[in-house]
Homo-oligomer: A and B are copies of this chain.
Amino acid sequence: MQTKWDELQVGLDVFFQDVNLLKQAFTHASYRNEHRKAQIQDNERFEFLGDAVLELLISDYLFHTYPHMPEGELTRMRAAIVCEASLVMFARRLSFDKYIRLGRGEERSGGRQRPALLADVFEAFLGALYIDQGVERVRTFVYAHLIPHLSDAKVGVDYKTALQEWVQQRMGVPLRYVIVEERGPAHAREFVVHVQVGGEVMGIGAGKSKKEAEQQAAAAALNVLTETAGEEQKAGVSQTD
Protein backbone atom coordinates (compact mmCIF):
# COMPACT_ATOMS: atom_id res chain seq x y z
CA MET A 1 0.00 0.00 0.00
CA GLN A 2 1.35 3.40 -0.91
CA THR A 3 1.41 5.70 2.13
CA LYS A 4 1.18 9.47 1.90
CA TRP A 5 4.92 9.54 2.62
CA ASP A 6 5.60 7.37 -0.44
CA GLU A 7 3.39 9.68 -2.47
CA LEU A 8 5.28 12.74 -1.23
CA GLN A 9 8.68 11.23 -2.00
CA VAL A 10 7.67 10.09 -5.49
CA GLY A 11 6.30 13.56 -6.20
CA LEU A 12 9.52 15.22 -5.10
CA ASP A 13 11.80 12.54 -6.55
CA VAL A 14 13.49 12.45 -3.15
CA PHE A 15 13.81 9.17 -1.29
CA PHE A 16 14.85 9.16 2.34
CA GLN A 17 17.06 6.43 3.77
CA ASP A 18 15.37 7.10 7.10
CA VAL A 19 11.77 8.03 6.41
CA ASN A 20 11.30 8.99 10.09
CA LEU A 21 13.39 12.08 9.35
CA LEU A 22 10.92 13.04 6.62
CA LYS A 23 7.98 12.52 8.99
CA GLN A 24 9.63 14.57 11.69
CA ALA A 25 10.19 17.43 9.25
CA PHE A 26 6.44 17.58 8.68
CA THR A 27 5.53 17.35 12.36
CA HIS A 28 4.39 20.57 13.99
CA ALA A 29 4.86 21.03 17.75
CA SER A 30 1.06 20.98 18.20
CA TYR A 31 0.96 17.39 16.90
CA ARG A 32 3.77 16.31 19.19
CA ASN A 33 1.93 17.84 22.15
CA GLU A 34 -1.07 15.62 21.43
CA HIS A 35 1.04 12.47 21.13
CA ARG A 36 3.31 12.76 24.13
CA LYS A 37 3.24 9.05 24.93
CA ALA A 38 4.44 8.11 21.46
CA GLN A 39 7.61 10.23 22.00
CA ILE A 40 7.11 11.91 18.67
CA GLN A 41 9.51 14.74 17.95
CA ASP A 42 8.65 17.92 16.14
CA ASN A 43 10.41 19.75 13.33
CA GLU A 44 11.85 22.74 15.22
CA ARG A 45 15.42 21.49 15.46
CA PHE A 46 15.38 20.49 11.78
CA GLU A 47 14.23 23.98 10.88
CA PHE A 48 17.27 25.39 12.72
CA LEU A 49 19.54 23.29 10.52
CA GLY A 50 17.58 23.67 7.27
CA ASP A 51 17.64 27.43 7.53
CA ALA A 52 21.46 27.37 7.62
CA VAL A 53 21.71 24.89 4.75
CA LEU A 54 19.43 26.98 2.56
CA GLU A 55 21.32 30.16 3.42
CA LEU A 56 24.60 28.58 2.31
CA LEU A 57 23.24 27.08 -0.90
CA ILE A 58 21.58 30.32 -1.99
CA SER A 59 24.71 32.29 -1.07
CA ASP A 60 26.82 29.94 -3.14
CA TYR A 61 24.40 30.13 -6.07
CA LEU A 62 24.35 33.94 -6.06
CA PHE A 63 28.11 34.18 -5.55
CA HIS A 64 28.82 32.07 -8.64
CA THR A 65 25.95 33.31 -10.81
CA TYR A 66 26.89 36.97 -10.34
CA PRO A 67 30.68 36.85 -10.17
CA HIS A 68 31.06 40.61 -10.00
CA MET A 69 28.08 41.72 -8.01
CA PRO A 70 29.06 43.63 -4.87
CA GLU A 71 28.48 42.03 -1.48
CA GLY A 72 25.68 44.46 -0.58
CA GLU A 73 23.58 43.45 -3.57
CA LEU A 74 24.27 39.75 -2.98
CA THR A 75 23.05 40.16 0.58
CA ARG A 76 19.92 41.93 -0.60
CA MET A 77 19.13 39.21 -3.13
CA ARG A 78 19.73 36.48 -0.59
CA ALA A 79 17.38 38.12 1.89
CA ALA A 80 14.72 38.29 -0.80
CA ILE A 81 15.03 34.58 -1.53
CA VAL A 82 15.37 33.29 2.02
CA CYS A 83 12.33 35.08 3.40
CA GLU A 84 9.03 33.79 4.66
CA ALA A 85 7.04 34.81 1.58
CA SER A 86 9.34 32.92 -0.78
CA LEU A 87 9.53 29.85 1.40
CA VAL A 88 5.75 29.73 1.65
CA MET A 89 5.50 29.90 -2.12
CA PHE A 90 7.94 27.02 -2.50
CA ALA A 91 6.12 24.98 0.16
CA ARG A 92 2.75 25.50 -1.57
CA ARG A 93 4.14 24.82 -5.02
CA LEU A 94 5.33 21.42 -3.74
CA SER A 95 2.01 20.79 -1.90
CA PHE A 96 3.79 20.51 1.43
CA ASP A 97 0.67 21.78 3.20
CA LYS A 98 -1.09 18.45 2.48
CA TYR A 99 1.47 16.48 4.49
CA ILE A 100 1.90 18.52 7.65
CA ARG A 101 1.04 16.72 10.89
CA LEU A 102 -0.87 19.24 13.00
CA GLY A 103 -2.58 19.17 16.36
CA ARG A 104 -6.38 19.43 16.28
CA GLY A 105 -6.55 22.92 17.73
CA GLU A 106 -3.98 24.23 15.26
CA GLU A 107 -5.86 22.52 12.42
CA ARG A 108 -9.17 24.11 13.41
CA SER A 109 -7.63 27.56 13.58
CA GLY A 110 -6.31 27.26 10.03
CA GLY A 111 -2.68 26.51 10.95
CA ARG A 112 -2.15 24.42 7.83
CA GLN A 113 -2.13 27.54 5.67
CA ARG A 114 -0.34 29.82 8.15
CA PRO A 115 2.69 31.32 6.36
CA ALA A 116 5.16 31.01 9.27
CA LEU A 117 4.21 27.37 9.74
CA LEU A 118 4.60 26.54 6.04
CA ALA A 119 7.96 28.31 5.85
CA ASP A 120 9.17 26.36 8.89
CA VAL A 121 8.13 23.04 7.36
CA PHE A 122 9.96 23.92 4.17
CA GLU A 123 13.18 24.65 6.06
CA ALA A 124 12.72 21.59 8.26
CA PHE A 125 12.40 19.44 5.15
CA LEU A 126 15.72 20.78 3.84
CA GLY A 127 17.28 20.11 7.25
CA ALA A 128 16.01 16.53 7.27
CA LEU A 129 17.31 15.93 3.75
CA TYR A 130 20.70 17.34 4.81
CA ILE A 131 20.88 14.96 7.77
CA ASP A 132 19.79 12.02 5.64
CA GLN A 133 21.90 12.61 2.53
CA GLY A 134 24.23 15.57 2.94
CA VAL A 135 24.63 19.02 1.50
CA GLU A 136 25.07 18.00 -2.15
CA ARG A 137 21.69 16.25 -2.22
CA VAL A 138 20.04 19.37 -0.83
CA ARG A 139 21.86 21.41 -3.47
CA THR A 140 20.41 19.21 -6.22
CA PHE A 141 16.95 19.66 -4.72
CA VAL A 142 17.36 23.43 -4.51
CA TYR A 143 18.53 23.61 -8.12
CA ALA A 144 15.58 21.49 -9.26
CA HIS A 145 12.80 23.14 -7.27
CA LEU A 146 13.85 26.65 -6.19
CA ILE A 147 16.40 28.18 -8.54
CA PRO A 148 14.19 27.93 -11.67
CA HIS A 149 11.49 29.97 -9.89
CA LEU A 150 13.54 32.76 -8.39
CA SER A 151 12.29 35.34 -10.85
CA ASP A 152 8.63 34.50 -10.29
CA ALA A 153 6.83 37.61 -9.22
CA LYS A 154 6.10 36.17 -5.78
CA VAL A 155 9.74 35.68 -4.95
CA GLY A 156 11.12 39.03 -4.07
CA VAL A 157 14.24 38.87 -6.23
CA ASP A 158 14.03 42.09 -8.15
CA TYR A 159 16.23 41.61 -11.19
CA LYS A 160 14.97 44.81 -12.77
CA THR A 161 16.28 46.92 -9.90
CA ALA A 162 19.55 44.98 -9.81
CA LEU A 163 20.01 45.47 -13.57
CA GLN A 164 19.17 49.16 -13.32
CA GLU A 165 21.77 49.69 -10.60
CA TRP A 166 24.36 47.73 -12.50
CA VAL A 167 23.82 49.69 -15.72
CA GLN A 168 23.68 53.05 -13.94
CA GLN A 169 26.86 52.49 -11.96
CA ARG A 170 29.02 50.97 -14.63
CA MET A 171 27.66 51.91 -18.03
CA GLY A 172 25.65 55.11 -17.75
CA VAL A 173 23.51 54.22 -20.78
CA PRO A 174 19.71 54.08 -21.08
CA LEU A 175 17.75 50.93 -20.24
CA ARG A 176 14.49 50.04 -21.96
CA TYR A 177 11.97 47.18 -21.90
CA VAL A 178 10.07 46.46 -25.13
CA ILE A 179 7.18 44.02 -25.48
CA VAL A 180 7.92 42.22 -28.71
CA GLU A 181 5.14 39.67 -28.58
CA GLU A 182 1.81 38.93 -26.91
CA ARG A 183 0.39 35.50 -27.57
CA GLY A 184 -2.25 33.04 -26.40
CA PRO A 185 -5.90 33.58 -25.43
CA ALA A 186 -6.87 36.17 -22.82
CA HIS A 187 -6.95 33.69 -19.92
CA ALA A 188 -3.52 32.26 -20.77
CA ARG A 189 -1.69 35.25 -22.12
CA GLU A 190 2.07 35.11 -22.59
CA PHE A 191 4.38 38.05 -23.08
CA VAL A 192 7.82 38.23 -24.65
CA VAL A 193 10.00 41.15 -23.69
CA HIS A 194 13.37 42.46 -24.85
CA VAL A 195 15.53 44.56 -22.59
CA GLN A 196 17.75 47.02 -24.41
CA VAL A 197 20.88 48.34 -22.77
CA GLY A 198 22.27 51.33 -24.60
CA GLY A 199 20.06 50.43 -27.56
CA GLU A 200 21.33 46.85 -27.77
CA VAL A 201 19.13 43.84 -26.94
CA MET A 202 20.84 42.29 -23.94
CA GLY A 203 18.18 39.91 -22.65
CA ILE A 204 14.94 38.21 -23.65
CA GLY A 205 12.24 37.12 -21.24
CA ALA A 206 8.85 35.46 -21.36
CA GLY A 207 6.09 35.19 -18.77
CA LYS A 208 2.40 35.24 -18.00
CA SER A 209 2.53 38.93 -17.19
CA LYS A 210 4.55 41.84 -18.52
CA LYS A 211 6.19 42.15 -15.13
CA GLU A 212 7.27 38.53 -15.08
CA ALA A 213 8.61 38.73 -18.65
CA GLU A 214 10.54 41.88 -17.77
CA GLN A 215 12.06 40.24 -14.69
CA GLN A 216 13.13 37.27 -16.80
CA ALA A 217 14.66 39.58 -19.39
CA ALA A 218 16.50 41.55 -16.70
CA ALA A 219 17.84 38.32 -15.17
CA ALA A 220 19.12 37.20 -18.58
CA ALA A 221 20.78 40.58 -19.20
CA LEU A 222 22.43 40.50 -15.78
CA ASN A 223 23.85 37.09 -16.59
CA VAL A 224 25.34 38.38 -19.83
CA LEU A 225 26.68 41.62 -18.34
CA THR A 226 28.24 40.12 -15.23
CA GLU A 227 29.76 37.37 -17.36
CA THR A 228 31.27 39.96 -19.71
CA ALA A 229 32.60 41.97 -16.79
CA GLY A 230 34.17 38.72 -15.55
CA GLU A 231 36.00 38.18 -18.83
CA GLU A 232 37.31 41.73 -18.89
CA GLN A 233 38.44 41.48 -15.32
CA LYS A 234 40.15 38.14 -15.94
CA ALA A 235 42.01 39.60 -18.90
CA GLY A 236 43.31 42.44 -16.77
CA VAL A 237 43.82 40.53 -13.55
CA SER A 238 47.07 40.50 -11.64
CA GLN A 239 47.79 39.96 -7.99
CA THR A 240 50.66 41.72 -6.31
CA ASP A 241 52.41 40.92 -3.05
* Per-residue contact bits, chain A 32-74, to B (CB 8 Å; 1 contact, 0 not): 0001001111001101110111011001100100000111001
Give the Cβ gap from A128 to chain B, nearest Cβ, in Å.
11
Give the chain B neighbours of A239 by CB distance below 8 A.
20, 23-24, 38, 40
A238 to chain B, nearest CB (A): 5
A9 located at the interface, meaning its Cβ lies under 8 Å from any Cβ of chain B in the complex: no
- Could you tell me if B71 and A38 are in contact, using CB atoms closer than 8 angstroms? no
Interface presence of A181 (CB below 8 A): no
Known: A52-B59, A56-B55. A40 touches B75 (CB 8 A): no
Distance in Å: Cβ of A9 to nearest Cβ of chain B: 15
A240: B residues at CB distance < 8 A: 35, 38, 40
Contact code string A205-241 (vs B, CB < 8 Å = 1, else 0): 0000000000000000000000000000100111111
Contacts of A194 in B (CB 8 A): none
Q: Are B49 and A52 in contact (CB under 8 A)?
A: no
**For residue A74, which residues in chain B have a CB less than 8 angstroms away from its CB?**
45, 48
Q: How many copies does the complex hold?
A: 2
Does the CB pair B75–A63 fall under 8 Å?
Answer: no
Pairwise interchain contact B23-A241, C-beta atoms closer than 8 A:
yes
A39: contacting residue among B23, B71, B238, CB under 8 A: B238
**In the complex the two chains form, is A45's CB within 8 Å of B70's CB?**
yes
Q: Are A39 and B101 in contact (CB under 8 A)?
A: no
Check A241–B48 contact: CB distance below 8 A: no
The verdict on A202 contacting chain B, using a C-beta distance below 8 Å, is: no
Determine if A142 is an interface residue (Cβ-Cβ < 8 Å): no
Q: Which residues of the partner chain B approach A80 to less than 8 Å between Cβ atoms?
A: none
Q: Is the CB of B44 within 8 A of A238?
A: no
Known A38-B240, A70-B44; judge A60-B49 contact (CB<8 A).
Answer: yes
